[in-house]
Structure 1
Amino acid sequence: MSELLPALPTGYRARAASAEDLGAVHRLVTACERELYGRAQTDTGGVAADFARPGLVPESDTLLVHAPDGHLAAHAWVNRRSKVDVHPGHRGRGLGAALLDWAEARARQAGGAQIVQSVPDGDSAAVALLRSRGYEPMVTEWQLEFGLAEAAVPAVPEPPEGITVRPFRLGGAAGEHDARAAHRLVQDAFDAWQPRRMDYEEWARHTVERPAFAPAMSPLAFAGDQLVGGAIALDLPETGEGYLEQVAVRRDHRNRGIARLLLRHAFRAFQQQGRHTCSLWTHSDTGALALYLRVGMTVRHSSTVHRKRLGPARPPV
């Protein structure tokens, strides 16, 4: 990695990340979120799942930048996608541009034909930086929320004929069965728009193996013994809200009200746990925004996924 290390302001130093850095990276990410959104919304498990992406090698695909006082000032990783975060107290010093240069160089070195990064639309400086470097918008992402005040959550309707709903089971053979079935359901449902299928291990790190996974708030819909719909929930008490990581319905059971039914179950379960909101992300390729708006969710904020086509790696001088 040494040949790719970016030029940094005086006193700043860079190194690769390790497992011991996850806590510091999480604090950095939440500081950025509070500055931009007024609240933290990322848990440690989400950071750990990013750093465990298949094929990501921490020694070459991650970078931490420490300030002269030793505090973490910025971080980045690249593995098909990329992510760059600069602590609010260290912006305006060229760290974002330096890490963007590093991410592009590393992607080229690894043979990537493009690099993709999602940036909040409200972060005008980051958007301007990407556009100045030749990045183009691909899709829009929206974070939606539903307020869980007692009067706001409608009663859970009766399921469609032939459909039963129960919570996700955790542990033992039954939990393993639910997890494997949910993985297949989600990957099949998302095939139309996601760039690749996740294998079970990668999917599990983002969902059922995260410390925040909430099986009691994760309703599953069955036709007989076949799983035909599911909502995978995370409980984030430190933020005061619930979060739906994934919502999926099997293609041959869509347009029957199953997704709305699952959302109502999840909203009610989080309300009973004392959470004040439930949120989720969706994006323009899924076509699901209208559904979420119809059930009463509102857009909290948006991001845009940007892409840059990469030329061949420059030969060493």
Structure 2
Amino acid sequence: MQPDASRTGLQWRPATTGDLDNWAELIARTAAVEHPVWFEKRGDLVHVLESTKNDPRTNTLLGFDAGGVARAYGRITKNPEGDKATGMGCVDPDWQRRGIGSALLAWQEAQARNRFRADTEAGHTTAPPRLRIQTEEQHHHQAALLRARGYGIVRWFNEMHRPLSIPAPDARLEPGLKLGTFQPSLQEAVRQAHNDAFRDHWGSEPRDEETWRFTIEEPTARHDWSAVVVDAATGEVAGYQLASHDPDSAAVRGFKEGYTELLGVRRAYRGRGIAQALLADALRRFSAAGMDIASLDVDSANPTGALALYLGMGYQPVNRSMMWERRSSWLP
């Protein structure tokens, strides 16, 4: 059920391609006030509307004022076999404190229940409905809303930076392991490596071809800064580092940033220095491109010891975010 127009002062409907600019401008307006580390851009929203697993006709919602300007947005995503739904959204700063955020969250919860019910009836999952929403530690108003509706923090994440003025360490690979630049022809092999590398990570679910295509085609992706390590004997991708760069963020954050979106090593290849070699290679690529900072995000309780790895490579935590979760019954 959509939020009540008479109470929110907004007219609500799912997002369409004709809304892309209006939608992106809403998110950018909100980000200009709230200063998140990352926010969705128009290219990301194009992928949202292209999704076949998360039909935008039922999983997105925009609220428009009387002049047709988008003032609020919400969406959820869920894999059919997954045990969680994830929510995202925002409210125009000029329209906050009117109950719109609460109304959007209630819609997300209802839609999450609908998705879990449908997936259970189709035999995909038997998990109880749960919705997860990630916020940054600085955003106290979001935390207050989630806490008031019964959400609790289930995980913390660290944003980490490393100045590129410090030379990259010398991290060499064993004989038989070859490092090279990521190529589109390796897209499927890297997807398989990613699913293997992340199958023991909290909250991670296998990425299918559609989800992985959106990852590879992310608007800020830099394939020329990304790398893979291949086992020469088998041709198997043993590890990978996928990088990105948002040129618009430098004006806001005050530095040019090379970002590691994903770093993974197959379980069978762990403990052989592959992650260190990939990170050292990324630092050199970022530095050669004129970046000031190398950055990434890491689960504070990552089971592979990633936090210790990054600290050892010279990264330091600078910001924290948290994952909130609420489980519910089938009933509102």
Report the TM-score range of the alignment, normalised by the length of the smaller protein: 0.7 to 0.9
Structure 2 counterpart of 1:140, which letter?
W
Offset of 1:260 from its aligned partner?
1.6
Unmatched 5+ stretches in structure 1? 170-174
Offset of 1:298 from its aligned partner?
2.0
Unmatched 5+ stretches in structure 2? 78-84, 118-128, 251-256
The size of the alignment, in residue pairs, is 303
Distance 1:250 1:29, change over 3 A: same
Question: What residue is the counterpart of 1:127 in the other structure?
Answer: 143
Question: What residue is the counterpart of 1:166 in the other structure?
Answer: 180
Offset of 1:249 from its aligned partner?
0.7
Structure 1 counterpart of 2:86, which letter?
R
Q: Distance in 2 between matches of 1:303 and 1:209?
A: 25
Structure 2 counterpart of 1:303, which letter?
S
> Does structure 1 residue 301 correspond to structure 2 residue 308?
no
Offset of 1:54 from its aligned partner?
4.5
Question: What residue is the counterpart of 1:5 in the other structure?
Answer: 3
- Give the one of 197, 217, 220 matched to 1:212: 220
- Give the one of 33, 36, 44 matched to 1:35: 33
Question: What residue is the counterpart of 1:234 in the other structure?
Answer: 244
Offset of 1:9 from its aligned partner?
4.6
Q: Distance in 2 between matches of 1:244 and 1:90?
A: 35
More deviation in 288-297 or 43-52?
43-52
- Give the one of 93, 96, 109 matched to 2:98: 93
Q: Distance in 2 between matches of 1:20 and 1:283?
A: 37
Q: Distance in 1 between matches of 2:323 and 2:9?
A: 33
Q: More relative contact order in 1 or in 2 (CA 8 Å, sep 6+)? A: 1
Q: Distance in 2 between matches of 1:53 and 1:139?
A: 27
Query: Is the contact between residue 194 and residue 264 of structure 2 (CA under 8 Å) also seen in structure 1?
Result: yes
Question: What residue is the counterpart of 2:168 in the other structure?
Answer: 154
Q: Distance in 2 between matches of 1:300 and 1:45?
A: 27
Distance 1:76 1:67, change over 3 A: same
- Give the one of 53, 56, 62 matched to 1:55: 53
Structure 1 counterpart of 2:174, which letter?
P
Structural mapping, 1:185-196, within 5 Å: 185-193=193-201, 194-196=203-205
Query: Is the contact between residue 48 and residue 56 of structure 2 (CA under 8 Å) also seen in structure 1?
Result: no
After superposition, the CA RMSD in angstroms is: 2.3
Identity of aligned residues (%): 27
Distance 1:46 1:264, change over 3 A: farther
Question: What residue is the counterpart of 1:172 in the other structure?
Answer: none
Query: Is the contact between residue 76 and residue 99 of structure 1 (CA under 8 Å) also seen in structure 2?
Result: yes
Q: Distance in 1 between matches of 2:280 and 2:271?
A: 16
Matched residue SS, 2:194? helix
Distance 1:159 1:23, change over 3 A: farther
Superposition TM-score, scaled by structure 1 size? 0.86
Question: What residue is the counterpart of 2:114 in the other structure?
Answer: 109
Matched residue SS, 2:221? coil
Structure 1 counterpart of 2:295, which letter?
S
- Give the one of 264, 270, 278 matched to 2:286: 270
Offset of 1:41 from its aligned partner?
5.2
Matched residue SS, 2:30? helix
More deviation in 128-137 or 195-204?
195-204
Query: Is the contact between residue 6 and residue 99 of structure 1 (CA under 8 Å) also seen in structure 2?
Result: no
Matched residue SS, 2:245? strand
